[in-house]
Amino acid sequence: MLGNKYGTHRVLEPKGVLPQPALRIDNNMDVLYDNEILVDVSMLNIDAASFTQIKKEVGADEEKVANKIMEIVGKRGKMHNPITGSGGMLIGKISKIGKALEGKVKVNVGDEIATLVSLSLTPLKIERIKKVHLNTDQVEVKAKAIIFESGVYAKLPSNMDRKLALAILDVAGAPAQTARLVKPGDKVVIIGASGKSGTLCSYVAKKYAGVTGKVIALVHSKERAKHLEKLGITNIAEVDATDAIEVESIVSKFTNGEMADVTINVVNVPNTEMASILATKNYGIVYFFSMATSFTKAALGAEGVGKDVNMIIGNGYMTGHAEIALETVRESEKIRGIFESLYVN
């Protein structure tokens, strides 16, 4: 029995939509369509905007967060946060490959993989949550998941810790897109620079902007941004990114009023669209990777202040993004050390 390649055969509500925007999908793991892959899931990496929202709603308590995750997956058949709309990704071992995919996919039963499509569209059934890691957004589980025919996934590298690979692959689109956007000599502002994607983007932006460029790292707390100095990032300012006027003033000082050629937004909280827009020069680029970004706030906000900026939605997928992100961490001992200390415990 063949399912739809995008997974619409598992959509229960509302009928006719794709699995990502669906409110409820079928997570019955006893039936495997011939073009699906079944995965024994060991760990979830909840999207940072979603995890932050859940911790805010129920409190930073392992049991309460676990209960909320069970509740969401119970209702939706997938880890699709109803407030942020975002998901995350998972790692697990392939336990079955549908007949129609046998020999056509580059993985075998038993291979350990990370999904590169969002948990917000991935059928998931959690038997048990073993441990919630409140500081890394990672959740150890005994669960099963389905990958659709159109799904994207990567074999976990054998020479890298699983938690490290999971942390990097969760935000793989951000460093890859940064490498595409930043040119030599650019002034690049990174909002939320001390976070997971922020750290990767800062490193990549510095590499591509080169000695004639400038990377300006805006962080919530300088204390939590010490690792950026180890990467040679020296222009660091502490600011609440929801304060657009303050952000504009700081970026203006760093750039002698010129403002940024490229602004990269990697925060995990809402209401930072205007800071990103005001930080950027006319005809510059704003790259919204944050899942807390509102299209309406960005579009109407830019219009409201008369800013002619090109705004890019952070597509989680980009050709070669997994390899680029993993290589970014492999090529530098410094960034690998930072990631190991922050995300492997």
Chain residues that interact with ligand NAP, rule: CB under 6 A? 47-49, 86, 170-171, 173, 192, 194-198, 220-221, 224, 240-242, 266-269, 289-292, 314, 316
Q: Which is nearer to ligand NAP, 212 or 221 (CB)?
A: 221
For the bound state, the minimum distance from the C-beta of residue 129 to ligand NAP, rounded and expressed in Å, comes to: 20
Torsion of CA 73, 318, 266, 90, to 10 degrees: 30
User: Is the CB of residue 329 less than 8 Å from the CB of residue 176?
Assistant: no
For the bound state, the minimum distance from the C-beta of residue 49 to ligand NAP, rounded and expressed in Å, comes to: 3
Nearest Cα residue to 241 out of 208, 263, 209, 213: 263
Q: From CA 233, how far away is CA 226, in angstroms rounded? A: 10
Q: Which is nearer to ligand NAP, 32 or 244 (CB)?
A: 244
For the bound state, the minimum distance from the C-beta of residue 142 to ligand NAP, rounded and expressed in Å, comes to: 24
For the bound state, the minimum distance from the C-beta of residue 342 to ligand NAP, rounded and expressed in Å, comes to: 9
Residue 85 gets the label, from left (phi > 0), alpha (psi -120 to 50) or beta, of: left
Nearest Cα residue to 71 out of 5, 129, 154: 129
Q: Which is nearer to ligand NAP, 115 or 194 (CB)?
A: 194
For the bound state, the minimum distance from the C-beta of residue 271 to ligand NAP, rounded and expressed in Å, comes to: 8
Tokens of 15: 């009928």
Tokens of 177: 């897109």
For the bound state, the minimum distance from the C-beta of residue 18 to ligand NAP, rounded and expressed in Å, comes to: 16
Q: Which is nearer to ligand NAP, 35 or 138 (CB)?
A: 138
Q: Which is nearer to ligand NAP, 129 or 171 (CB)?
A: 171
User: Is the CB of residue 58 less than 8 Å from the CB of residue 68?
Assistant: yes
Chain centroid offset of residue 263 CA: 17
User: Is the CB of residue 90 less than 8 Å from the CB of residue 37?
Assistant: no
Nearest Cα residue to 207 out of 338, 341, 332, 336: 332
Q: Which is nearer to ligand NAP, 98 or 151 (CB)?
A: 151
For the bound state, the minimum distance from the C-beta of residue 127 to ligand NAP, rounded and expressed in Å, comes to: 26
Beta bridge pairs of residue 216: 189, 235
Q: Which is nearer to ligand NAP, 26 or 240 (CB)?
A: 240
Q: Give the containing element (helix H, strand E) for 324.
A: helix 321-330
